[in-house]
Amino acid sequence: GQNIDQPTEMTATEGAIVQINCTYQTSGFNGLFWYQQHAGEAPTFLSYNVLDGLEEKGRFSSFLSRSKGYSYLLLKELQMKDSASYLCAGIYNFNKFYFGSGTKLNVKP
Amino acid sequence: GAVVSQHPSWVICKSGTSVKIECRSLDFQATTMFWYRQFPKQSLMLMATSNEGSKATYEQGVEKDKFLINHASLTLSTLTVTSAHPEDSSFYICSATDRPNEKLFFGSGTQLSVL
């Protein structure tokens, strides 16, 4: 729902930096979340952006541009354990969470 | 962080039976709970939004008579899959928030297999 789009799959090397993009419908949009999900497990919260700009939290950073309907998740110093699906989720009309299709990240040695 | 408990973790049932999944917020009052469905290698699809003491709001395409949601208290919501069929086999996951516009806390999910 809400046309939340992100790449299906990405591959990166251990120690490198990777950027996962997300575009979304701006009508009714309130804020954007990034979640990490390992296969068969529940998603875990990574970040939340409401205002434009970059939020940094350790090796992970998230960026939001409300006018462009665009966000990205930046992962630095990649580790093998970062191999997972990364879900972009938008909150709309203050009470609905919609998820993108998820980006499967493969980290190789 | 807040804890959401979901039971059962997995269930196998015969076609035509009904299955109830419980979602509890253990250390906070969940004014709103969400139910999602996830097929293998796909993302979470919002099925319904449930607010304590009122009827759930279902997303387009989700049959409310098939997926019964009850949110009778601030700490418990249940999803009942009525007359389950093999096509209902999926990973069902609940989530909750204690304040509007705040992050979701997820249950551990329920893998439903209908034979």
CA B22, CA B35: separation in Å to the nearest integer?
A: 11
Residue-wise pLDDT tens digits, A45-89: 899 999 999 999 899 999 999 999 999 999 999 999 999 999 999
| Whether B42 and A101 lie within 8 Å, measured CB to CB | yes
Contact B81, B99 (CB under 8 A): no
Query: Per residue in B71-86, pLDDT tens?
Result: 888 899 999 999 999 9
pLDDT for the residue B32: 86
pLDDT at B41 over 70: yes
Neighbours of A33 (CB within 10 A): 22
The larger pLDDT score, comparing residue B61 to residue B51, is at: B61
Interface membership of B93 toward A (CB under 8 Å): yes
Q: How close A105 comes to chain B (CA, Å)?
A: 12
According to the model, what pLDDT value does residue B99 have?
Answer: 73
In this predicted structure, the answer to whether residue B13 has a pLDDT above a threshold of 90 is yes
Looking at every residue in chain B, the average pLDDT score rounds to 89
Task: Give the pLDDT of residue B44.
Answer: 87
Query: CB A94 to CB B103 under 8 A?
Result: no
Record: contact A100-B43, CB cut-off 8 A = yes
**β-bridge partners, A5:** A23
pLDDT score of B47: 94
Sign of CA dihedral A42, A47, A50, A52: negative
Which residues in chain A have Cβ-Cβ distances shorter than 8 Å to B1? 45
Average pLDDT value for residue range B26-46: 87
Which residue in chain A is spatially nearest to B47 when comparing CA positions? Answer: A98
Asked if the C-beta of B35 comes within 8 angstroms of chain A's C-beta atoms, the answer is no
Interface of A with B (CB under 8 A): 1, 30-31, 33, 40-45, 48, 85, 87, 89, 91, 94-102, 104
Nearest-CA distance from B52 to chain A in Å? 13
Looking at residue B113, its pLDDT comes to 92
CB within 8 Å: A43 and B107: no
DSSP B42-110: S--EEEEEEETTSPPEEPTT--TTTEEEEEEETTEEEEEE-S--GGG-EEEEEEEESSTTS--EE---E
What confidence tier does A96 reach under pLDDT thresholds 50, 70, 90?
confident
The Cα-based distances of A36 to A21, A43, A93 in angstroms read 14, 5, 24
- Strand-pair category, A44-49 with A29-37: antiparallel
- Per-residue pLDDT, B36: 94
Q: How far apart are CA A31 and CA A61, in angstroms?
A: 15
Question: What's the confidence (pLDDT) of residue B1?
Answer: 63
pLDDT confidence tier of residue A1, bands split at 50, 70 and 90: low
pLDDT band at residue B101 under the 50/70/90 scheme:
low
Distance from CA of B108 to the nearest CA of A (A): 5
**Nearest partner of A28 among A6, A1, A56, judged by Cα:** A1
Q: Which residues of A touch B41 (CB under 8 A)?
A: 104
Name the residue with tokens 């980006």.
A103
